[in-house]
Chain A
Amino acid sequence: MADNNTMTTDQRNIMTFDPQAHEIALSTEDLHVFYGNSEAISEGDLQFERYKITALIGPSGSGKSTYLRSLNRMNDRIATVKGKIMYRGLDINSNDIDVYEMRRHIGMVFQRPNPFAKSIYENIAFALRQRGMNKKADLDEIVERSLRQAAMWDQVKDDLNKSALALSGGQQQRLCIARAIAIKPDILLLDEPASALDPVSTSQIEDTLLELKQNYTIIIVTHNMQQASRISDYTAFFNLGKALEYAETGDIFTNPKVDLTNDYISGNFG
């Protein structure tokens, strides 16, 4: 076990982008995340290309969710995040950043569908109202547009005033996606958005994400390797708080350079 670890920790293969050819939407530099004294992320620096889907895979406890949640500082009150998170040339992990404004541009959808106990309409209008948008016509328009983008407008257009909690799990999750894109973020972070859903809902969510890719940079944590290979352009493999391999999805699944990645993908551990 110990031997195995020493052998594999040295082995890393992290792709970087040529800034001339690729537009970087988000990247981390020297990021470390601590829960109390224990380090949850020690080496995890990645770059994320604009208008692509990047999947983060890895076994439970590998730090991929922690990494994702650090990107829009949802870990602020839970963990200590050190290092830089670069977005549009700014380090958004600094104290000068208005966190609430930043989260408007870097939205997040969680593992468990978490609609508010409000109507479908109000779930989407919530964030807009908080930003002072009160005109009914504007709200109506954005609610419809968001629900259309999340591919659920036709199912719910007559029930907008019904409680969001009455929706099925898959619909709730798409409502959460609609809610997140209603405020037009740049980047959408998704933390295992389909892990609590049945296969049909999962494939609908995946279709929605592929649709959204045209306008959003998407970073998704997933346990499901088929899902990663189906929808993502790039994949990063995490283990024990480190990103060990980061490459184009096709490469990582057919020709992994790191032994541990190969073991994980072929189901030998994890």
Chain B
Amino acid sequence: MDKIRASLLKKSIATKIERRGKILSLSCLALIILVVFLIFYFVASRGLATFFQNHINLWQFLSGIQWNPGTVGSNGQPAVGALPMIVGSFLITIFSAIVATPFAIGTAVFMTEISPRRGAQILRPVTELLVGIPSVVYGFIGLQVVVPFVRNTFGGSGYGILSGTFVLFVMILPTVTSMSADALNAVPRYYREASLALGATRWQTIYKVVLRAAIPGMLTAIVFGMARAFGEALAVQMVIGNATLLPHNLVSPASTLTSILTMGIGNTVMGSLQNNALWSLAMILLLMSLLFNLIIRYIGRKGKLNHER
């Protein structure tokens, strides 16, 4: 009896190992949190320096259309107007999402509803392969194929929003497709059965029941694709022309936050206005990706409520 009491009160090896494991995984988590926090701190401290150390007006930064941080603009202030890049980033993000969405939904419907076997065997691996291709490859093909095509078809130099849209469309299509397919697969089978048993055709079932039920998941897919498009730097930089001008049509050279950032960051001195202004661009990017994340979480939570039974 006392032996059992003693053994119950003794610290066993099992509890020790368990505690060690707990500490180990907790410290991994802490490291990641620390890294995220440091990134935010660093970007914010550099990015905000533009406004607090160099005394640039925030509104001027967001709405100015002249970008040449080393020099003084027409209003006597340093020319740090980020509007052209902000507009460029948003335009190619929205356009590529608009172009990619119908293709992605069509492919996803084919993959999951119309030909699930071929979808699983061929289309899905191919789509996943496309996700893994490095962006420099996309950019290079864009430079060699899309830019001349745009130049010959629509005029202009070929560099610009339109070329950027085409390249990003191909880049985000696989992501949006495979996530849409996941969303469609997650629609319970009994929805389809219920609809078919009522004499609805397959198309009516897909269009009226399955797609409707998958809307939150597909919105998430689209926003995810937009986040990727917004953050893509290299491929876009290769085809957009990188002129810090407010785009007045789709085939004139333009620029995005990312393309200006990657082009400029190596040529500036830490702590200078030029450098700080670039960090401010990075801050906008970070805030935007945060926003995209929040939107995805919000949609995800709403979607869950819809499916609860």
Chain A positions within 8 Å of B, measured between CB atoms, are 72, 74, 100-104, 107-110, 112, 114-117, 126-127, 130-131, 165, 176, 179-180, 183
What would be 28 A-B contacts, judged by CB atoms less than 8 Å apart? A74-B193, A100-B196, A100-B199, A100-B200, A102-B199, A104-B198, A107-B198, A107-B199, A109-B197, A110-B190, A110-B193, A110-B194, A114-B188, A114-B190, A114-B191, A114-B193, A115-B194, A116-B191, A117-B213, A117-B307, A126-B198, A130-B198, A130-B200, A176-B194, A179-B194, A179-B198, A180-B197, A180-B198
Interface of chain B: mostly helix, strand, loop or mixed: helix
Query: B118: CB under 8 A from chain A?
Result: no
Does B208 lie within 8 Å of A165, measured CB to CB?
no
Does A127 lie within 8 Å of B193, measured CB to CB?
no
Chain B positions within 8 Å of A, measured between CB atoms, are 188, 190-191, 193-201, 204, 208-209, 212-213, 306-309
For B306, the chain A residues whose CB sits under 8 A away are 117
Known contacts: A101-B199, A107-B197, A112-B190. The answer to whether A130 contacts B208 by CB under 8 A is: yes
Does B193 lie within 8 Å of A183, measured CB to CB?
no
Does B213 lie within 8 Å of A74, measured CB to CB?
no
Does A74 lie within 8 Å of B204, measured CB to CB?
no
Q: Which residue of B lies closest to A104 (CB)?
A: B199
Does B198 lie within 8 Å of A74, measured CB to CB?
no
For A117, the chain B residues whose CB sits under 8 A away are 212-213, 306-307
Does B191 lie within 8 Å of A110, measured CB to CB?
no
Given contact pairs A103-B197, A179-B194, a sample of 10 additional A-B residue pairs in the complex whose CB atoms are under 8 Å apart: A72-B197, A100-B196, A101-B199, A103-B196, A103-B199, A110-B194, A117-B306, A130-B199, A130-B201, A165-B308
Top 9 A-B residue pairs of the complex, sorted by shortest distance between their CB atoms: A104-B199, A114-B190, A127-B198, A108-B197, A103-B199, A114-B194, A100-B201, A130-B204, A130-B200
Q: Which residue of B lies closest to A179 (CB)?
A: B198
Interface Cβ pair total, 8 Å cutoff: 66
Q: How far is the CA of A101 from the CA of B200 in the complex (A)?
A: 8
Shortest distance in angstroms between B109's beta carbon and chain A's nearest beta carbon? Answer: 16
Q: How far is the CA of A109 from the CA of B219 in the complex (A)?
A: 32
Q: How far is the CA of A115 from the CA of B199 in the complex (A)?
A: 15
For B204, the chain A residues whose CB sits under 8 A away are 130
For B194, the chain A residues whose CB sits under 8 A away are 110, 114-116, 176, 179
Q: How far is the CA of A100 from the CA of B193 in the complex (A)?
A: 12
Q: Which residue of B lies closest to A102 (CB)?
A: B199
Q: Which residue of A lies closest to B187 (CB)?
A: A117
Does B199 lie within 8 Å of A127, measured CB to CB?
yes
For A114, the chain B residues whose CB sits under 8 A away are 188, 190-191, 193-194
Does A183 lie within 8 Å of B199, measured CB to CB?
yes
For A115, the chain B residues whose CB sits under 8 A away are 194
Does A116 lie within 8 Å of B308, measured CB to CB?
no
For A102, the chain B residues whose CB sits under 8 A away are 199
For B201, the chain A residues whose CB sits under 8 A away are 100, 130
Q: How far is the CA of A103 from the CA of B192 in the complex (A)?
A: 14
Q: How far is the CA of A127 from the CA of B196 in the complex (A)?
A: 10
Query: Which of B201, B213, B307 has the most chain A CB atoms closer than 10 A to its own CB?
Result: B201
